[in-house]
Amino acid sequence: MGHQRDPGQAARVLMADKGRYVGTAVLNFKLDRRQRLWDQVQGLTGAPPPKGLAKEKAEWLRPELVGRVKFLKGEEMLRLVSLKDFKET
């Protein structure tokens, strides 16, 4: 899992599964929950990006945080994704 924050845009959570990029989730949490997530993320940055993906502004996390997402089923890549919850492993 990784994250990307650009000024003027919604924060995005980049999702990977077994070292492979699978899609981007929009982060629609309220401010307090979003802050709790960012606080947890700060100590986990520094992992290499998934194979075949280089997003210059993205920060990848060590696999200690797991996200639960809602997405459009039946696709190889995650589509129309929103992050519902997260937990430490």
The predicted-structure confidence for 71-88, as pLDDT tens digits, reads as follows 777 767 777 787 888 887
Tens digits of residue pLDDT in 19-72: 888 888 877 788 888 888 888 888 888 888 887 676 667 888 887 878 888 877
DSSP 16-76: EETTEEEEEEE----HHHHHHHHHHHHTTB-PPPPBT---TT-EEB-TTEEEEEE--SS-S
Say if residues 81 and 23 touch (Cβ distance below 8 Å). Answer: yes
DSSP designation for 7: T
pLDDT grade for 17, boundaries at 50, 70 and 90: confident
pLDDT for res 73: 79
pTM of the model: 0.69
Cα three-residue angle 4-42-38, rounded to 5 degrees: 60
Report the distance separating Cα 23 and Cα 48, nearest Å: 16
